[in-house]
Structure 1
Amino acid sequence: MTESETRALLQAVAEGSSSVEDAVMKLKMAPYDDIDIARLDTHRGLRQGIGEVIYGAGKTPEQIDRIAHALWKDGQRTILITRMTQEAADALTKDIPFTYYSDAHAGVVGSMIEPDCEGTVLVITGGTSDIPVAEEAAITAETLGNKVERVFDVGVAGIHRLLSNTDSIMAANVIIAIAGMEGALASVVGGLADCPVIAVPTSVGYGTAFGGVTALLSMLNSCASGVSVVNIDNGFGAGYLASMINHKGVAV
């Protein structure tokens, strides 16, 4: 939507010839920003409540830099970049505030949003090898304005480690359970928690783990109620969904 079109729309609202609801709908459906290498959905924050996120995998450092600067210029003040390499982070032009989180392979342009809801998102992993996916989930949830607690390396091979964190499990508003191998962690957590559990299978494991497929199928077949499953290694999707649930004020 051009400046003149926006002014005309606002003038129509001021004059009473357009309702506020109609104006908001038109703004939500406003055109994208075409910068040749990408078509940026600059009104996504208005439409969905969360601005566009940059998926870094497959993009060159120069492309990430251009997209991030275009979103910043358009007024987006918190920009999450997932699957970002150290090379891309080093190449980002530092005329805008930027923080790189190496464990999560993620970057944030601008600043983290202060937690704006009361609930806690608990991120649990089966093993230390699952931490990169867990950190992607945690950084995503934090970037979207959630309080996040981390409990790592509490897999079912030593289940007493998990049970020693029962208080955190019971207090959480949403839990993200992340595991590879056979993926049993999600079912155990689902059997302990009275809140939604988002299961994330990881590609960690030996041959018949099939790059996370075994954990994925195990989690999909969980007998615990209230367990949902995202794709293999999809920490971002889990963190995003957890934020949506947490901001809906799910009571525990």
Structure 2
Amino acid sequence: REIDERLIYNEPGRTITLEAKERKKTGSVLEITAGTADIPVAEEAAVTASISGAHVERVYDAGVAGIHRLLAHNDKIQGARCIVAVAGMEGALPSVVGGLAPCPVIAVPTSVGYGSHLGGLAPMLTMLNSCAPNITVVNIDNGFGAGFSAAMINGGVKRET
């Protein structure tokens, strides 16, 4: 049922937003997922960054198992002000992106996948031990924290009075 026609529901990201007035989107936040199972967390981050004023682009299913899919988007990686890299399994994507990117990378481990990812602990430990110096790690499945931080890095979150 419809409650308010101004509400926007993003089913993959499990978010509901209400923007009282249209806001100009600036900068460039790039959301990258390793696999399709990571999309819900990435969408939560994308929606959060967008309603905070960031222009958001998405590259989904570009994990290191098919590195050609990631490298096909190198132009977007080079042009971003901030990148949110979301990955489960072994969590290798943020380190690879960090090696390519000239900007901060926010790594988000997810609790999805198969194998012994231990509910997101394995990818989180991989991300925390990355040798790429431009990576910051948020907690498991923390799309909101990643999106808000990305918006701050992108150009700040403007407070409305």
> If the length of structure 1 is used for normalisation, what is the TM-score?
0.59
Structure number with bigger Rg: 1
1:106 aligns to what? 15
1:123 aligns to what? 31
Residue 237 (1) aligns with residue 149 (2): no
> Could you list the per-position Cα deviations for residues 64-96 of structure 1 after superposition, in whole angstroms to 9, with x for gaps in the alignment?
xxxxxxxxxxxxxxxxxxxxxxxxxx5x743x7
1:58 aligns to what? none
Instruction: Report how far residue 205 of structure 1 moved.
Output: 2.1
For structure 2, list consecutive stretches of 5 or more residues without a partner in the other structure: 157-161
Residue correspondence of structure 1 range 52-67 to structure 2 within 5 A: none
1:180 aligns to what? 88
The 1:208/1:101 distance shift into structure 2, 3 A limit, reads: same
Q: Which of 204, 208, 211 is the equivalent residue of 2:116?
A: 208
**Is the 1:113–1:142 contact (alpha carbons within 8 Å) kept by the matching residues of 2?**
no
**Is the 1:201–1:212 contact (alpha carbons within 8 Å) kept by the matching residues of 2?**
yes
**Is the 2:25–2:50 contact (alpha carbons within 8 Å) kept by the matching residues of 1?**
no
Q: Which of 118, 128, 132 is the equivalent residue of 1:220?
A: 128
Instruction: Report how far residue 247 of structure 1 moved.
Output: 1.2
**Is the 2:37–2:113 contact (alpha carbons within 8 Å) kept by the matching residues of 1?**
no
The 1:112/1:227 distance shift into structure 2, 3 A limit, reads: farther
**Is the 2:89–2:115 contact (alpha carbons within 8 Å) kept by the matching residues of 1?**
no
Instruction: Report how far residue 174 of structure 1 moved.
Output: 0.3
RMSD: 1.6
SS in 1 for 2:117: helix
Q: Which of 61, 64, 72 is the equivalent residue of 1:153?
A: 61
SS in 1 for 2:100: coil
Instruction: Report how far residue 206 of structure 1 moved.
Output: 2.2
**Is the 1:115–1:142 contact (alpha carbons within 8 Å) kept by the matching residues of 2?**
no
SS in 2 for 1:191: helix
* Structure 1 stretches of at least 4 aligned residues deviating more than 3 Å after TM superposition: 110-113
Q: Letter of the aligned partner of 1:105 in structure 2?
A: R
Residue 166 (1) aligns with residue 46 (2): no
Instruction: Report how far residue 115 of structure 1 moved.
Output: 3.1
1:136 aligns to what? 44
> Could you list the per-position Cα deviations for residues 137-164 of structure 1 after superposition, in whole angstroms to 9, with x for gaps in the alignment?
1011111111000000000001011011
